[in-house]
Structure 1
Amino acid sequence: MFTGIIEEVGKVSAFKKTGNFAVLQIECCKILDDITIGDSVSVNGVCLTVTKCGEKSFNVDISYETLEKSSLAYTSYGDPLNLERALTLSRRLGGHLVSGHVDCLAKILEIKKESGAYRLRTQYSSDIDRYVAVKGSISLDGISLTVSDIPAERVCEVAVIPHTFENTVLKYKKAGDYLNVEVDMIARYIEKLLKKETKADKLKESILKMQQLEDFL
């Protein structure tokens, strides 16, 4: 589990892809003092397991499913990566609960600086449209952001403060690039609960009708 507050921007020092499997080596500094083999790390919003630790880098394995659903499949040497260690019970939850399970990719339509901040507009899959709401949370490349506007179907805008922009991979992005998207998990749980309630209501209604029919007969 993560918060969506990026701790460090690392750099790809090696990327070896063999068929539907890949090994990624990430050069970094800050987070190395507190990670060990087996730990979970968010890499551009993808939860990955540390398989090797070095003095200046660590390795993670990437499965075929992750390669299919995330932008990590297009990683190359020198690319910057958002990094966040897993949440601990003693840390403040500064962003929102992020699982590191990518829902889809979003295409950047526009990045524009205005009024001292940056407006980021993205287009995403219709599969997640119902989970995106104004003032709701969304994770883009592992960054916890708040939806500021939904100008069209499958399109949302977020406002990015200068600190976040300068200290994440967003400063390297441009229109046409893709970001890993994870919707707010609370929205998914609410939807599931509502579906269960709807099914229960329909069952109650069906039973009531059967009882009324039996009374009539």
Structure 2
Amino acid sequence: MFTGLVEEVGKLKSVSRQGEAMVITISGAIVTKDVKLGDSISVNGVCLTVTSFDRSSFTVDVMPETYRKSSLHELKTGEPVNLERAMQAGARFGGHIVQGHVDGTGHVVSRKVDANAVVFTVRLTDPNNLRYIIPKGSVTIDGVSLTVVDTTEDGFTVSIIPHTLAQTALQNRYSGHTVNIESDIIGKYVDHLLHYKEPEKNKRGETSKLSTAYLVEHGFM
């Protein structure tokens, strides 16, 4: 699990592709300080497993599902990427709950200066994911925890402060750029519970009492 607070901006050192499978090596001085085999590192918001490493870089595999659902297949050698190690128990939770399991991609439609901030408008590749994004809710763009300003017909806007822009690879994202999107997990769980079609009776012969009315009555909505 991650928080969406990027620790450093690394660089893609090498990439090897075989169909929809990839092996990528990324440089990062901070995330490799205490890295171990099997550790999870978020790369542009995608949780990946370390398969080898040295003092300043690490290597990960990208499987076909990740290849298809994320923008990692568009990476080029030398390109900057957002990096974050998995959260430690007891650490400060400065962002929001981020799994590193992206819902899909989006495209930057515009980037406009608003006083001391920069407003990004993002269009979702899959409009169905818009149901998980709400104004003032949380969203992750390329691994960065951000607050949704508003939604549009096919996407949303976020306002980014100078510090976040300067310390992440978002400074290199402009109109047309593909970005990874992960919605707040709480919304996805609630949506699943409300729309899950289960058998009329469980193994003990009991019917489910879960409904929208039940969740409202017990304070979940």
Same-fold status (TM-score > 0.5): yes
Structure holding more helix per residue: 1
1:155 matched to 2:155? The reply is yes
CA drift at 1:58: 0.6
Spell out, residue by residue over 1:160-182, the C-alpha distance to the aligned partner (whole angstroms, 9 max, x if none). 01000011111111100010001
1:193-216 Cα shifts (integer Å, max 9, x gaps): 33369985699xxxxxxxxxxxxx
Equivalent residues, number: 202
Aligned to 1:68: 68
SS, match of residue 191 in structure 1:
helix
Cα 1:111–1:202 shift into 2, 3 Å: closer
Aligned-partner Cα distance in 1 for 2:97–2:209:
31
Q: CA deviation at 1:8?
A: 0.4
Q: How does 1:16-55 map to 2 (within 5 A)?
A: 16-55=16-55
Partner Cα distance (2:20, 2:115) in 1:
44
Task: Name the SS of the counterpart of 1:82 in structure 2.
Answer: strand
Residues in 1 aligned to 2:177 and 2:76: alpha-carbon distance in whole angstroms: 14
Residue 153 of structure 1, CA deviation: 1.4
SS for the counterpart of 1:66 is helix
Look up the match of 1:140.
Answer: 141
Q: Tell me if 1:14 matches 2:18.
A: no
The answer (yes or no) to whether the contact 2:42–2:86 under 8 Å persists in 1 is yes
1:56 to partner: Cα distance? 1.5
For residues 72-87 of structure 1, the aligned pairs below 5 Å read 72-87=72-87
Aligned to 2:180: 180
Query: Rg bigger for which structure?
Result: 1
Query: Structure 1 residues 196, 29: CA separation in 2 closer, same or farther (over 3 Å shift)?
Result: same
Shift of the alpha carbon at 1:31?
1.4
TM-score normalized by the length of structure 1: 0.89
Q: Which amino acid letter does the alignment assign opposite residue 9 of structure 2?
A: V
Contact 2:142 2:180 (8 Å CA) reproduced: yes
Task: Quote the residue 1:207 is aligned against.
Answer: none
* CA displacement at 1:84 relative to structure 2: 0.2
- Which residue in 1 is equivalent to 2:92? 92
Aligned to 1:191: 191
RMSD across aligned positions (CA): 1.9
Identity of aligned residues (%): 41
SS for the counterpart of 1:33 is coil
Indicate the residue corresponding to 2:104 in structure 1: 104
Instruction: State the shift of 1:122 in Å.
Output: 0.3
- Distance in 2, matches of 1:42 and 1:159, equals 22
Counterpart amino acid of residue 154 in structure 1:
D
Q: Which residue of 2 aligns with 1:130?
A: 131
- The 4+ residue runs of structure 1 with deviation greater than 3 A are 195-203
In the alignment, the residues of structure 1 paired with residue 81 and residue 210 of structure 2 have an alpha-carbon distance, to the nearest angstrom, of: 48
